[in-house]
Structure 1
Amino acid sequence: MPAFIRHPKDFWIGIIFIFFGLCAVVIGQDYGMGTTGRMGPAYFPVVLGGLLTLIGAIGIIRSFIRQGEAIGRIHVKELVLILAAVLLFGYLVRNAGLVPAAIVLIMVSAFASPKFHLGKTILLAVGMALFAVVLFVKLLGLPMPIFGPWFGA
């Protein structure tokens, strides 16, 4: 890293925020913007993308001013496990249902932690799955299967 970048973490997170913010703004250009009173489909993503870009620019500026620690190693195994858990959830929620998908999401993503304990993780997974059913299916009324076609429901 160049010597004038005093806080590498702020610098790189600023770069990431600017990248995703500008992507949202560019993609949003294909839709109608509308006005503040009558927002079009591009309004929300473009405004949020602009704000994300602004936050990224502030992070980069702060990286030149504030002292900070260097970036440590990238935890590839943990990143892959968490990404796999989210992808599995997206696939399973439609076919297996909310409960199995939530349990798999929590079990796989918890395995990424060095503090993983099977018993505690099972309790957490079951509790969070029940919470998700109560919140999303019962209280909010989302049309989401609790147990999907794979379980004959």
Structure 2
Amino acid sequence: MASFIRNPKEFWAGVIFIFFGLAAVYIGQDYSMGTAGRMGPAYFPTILGGLLAVIGVISLLRSLIKGGEAPRNFAVKGAILVLVGSALFGVLVRQAGLVAAIIVLVMLGGLANAKFRVGPYLLLAVGMAIFCVLVFVKGLGLPMPMVGPWLGA
């Protein structure tokens, strides 16, 4: 039996993007949107969720046009490392600070890669930490500690 889905990987990636994008938009409905100049708590998740859903639709449509192979297996180790890294980021950002939280997040995410090497990922983690401090703490003035109470600040 012929399937109209020519690229199953692209198809399932699109389904996942659409699901999480629409979930973010739905959850954001309970908060005030604000404006582009004075963003409310719903602004960021709604805009980001909408963009994610649009990317999902594009991916889904590409799966019908462009051929590709079926997914072979699911990387359980990688998924767990990324989820644990995201959860740890949420805990560490307030207690250890933004710099430590970013470094832990990037290093755990890097461990999900089969070709992980400490040097390049540590360099990336430090660069991301510097970038996030400059953008979010210095540029946008978000009240995030760069170094938290667990690390003596």
Aligned to 1:37: none
Aligned to 1:131: 131
Could you state the TM-score of these two structures normalised by the residue count of structure 1? 0.70
Q: Counterparts of 2:123 and 2:43 in 1: how far apart (Å)?
A: 42
Q: Counterparts of 2:111 and 2:93 in 1: how far apart (Å)?
A: 20
Unaligned runs of 5+ in 2: 34-39
SS at match of 2:116: coil
Q: Match for 2:77: what amino acid?
A: K
Q: Match for 2:105: what amino acid?
A: L
1:9/1:86 CA distance change after superposition, 3 Å: same
1:8/1:147 CA distance change after superposition, 3 Å: same
Query: Bigger shift: 24-33 or 67-76?
Result: 24-33
**Displacement of 1:143:** 0.9
Unaligned runs of 5+ in 1: 34-39
Q: Counterparts of 2:135 and 2:50 in 1: how far apart (Å)?
A: 32
Q: Counterparts of 1:8 and 1:134 in 2: how far apart (Å)?
A: 40
Q: Counterparts of 1:74 and 1:132 in 2: how far apart (Å)?
A: 31
Aligned to 1:98: 98
| Matched length | 149
Using the aligned pairs only, state the percent identity.
61
Q: Counterparts of 2:118 and 2:126 in 1: how far apart (Å)?
A: 12
1:133/1:26 CA distance change after superposition, 3 Å: closer
Matches within 5 A, 1:2-151: 3-20=3-20, 23=23, 56=56, 59-60=59-60, 62-151=62-151
Q: Counterparts of 2:102 and 2:22 in 1: how far apart (Å)?
A: 32
For the aligned residue pairs, the C-alpha RMSD in angstroms reads 3.6
Cα deviations across residues 82-123 of structure 1 (Å, max 9, x unaligned)?
A: 111111111100111111111111111111112211223223
1:23/1:73 CA distance change after superposition, 3 Å: same
Q: Match for 2:152: what amino acid?
A: G
Query: Bigger shift: 113-122 or 52-61?
Result: 52-61
1:10/1:107 CA distance change after superposition, 3 Å: closer
Could you state the TM-score of these two structures normalised by the residue count of structure 2? 0.70
Cα deviations across residues 18-66 of structure 1 (Å, max 9, x unaligned)?
A: 4345545665776899xxxxxx998997898777667656655554444
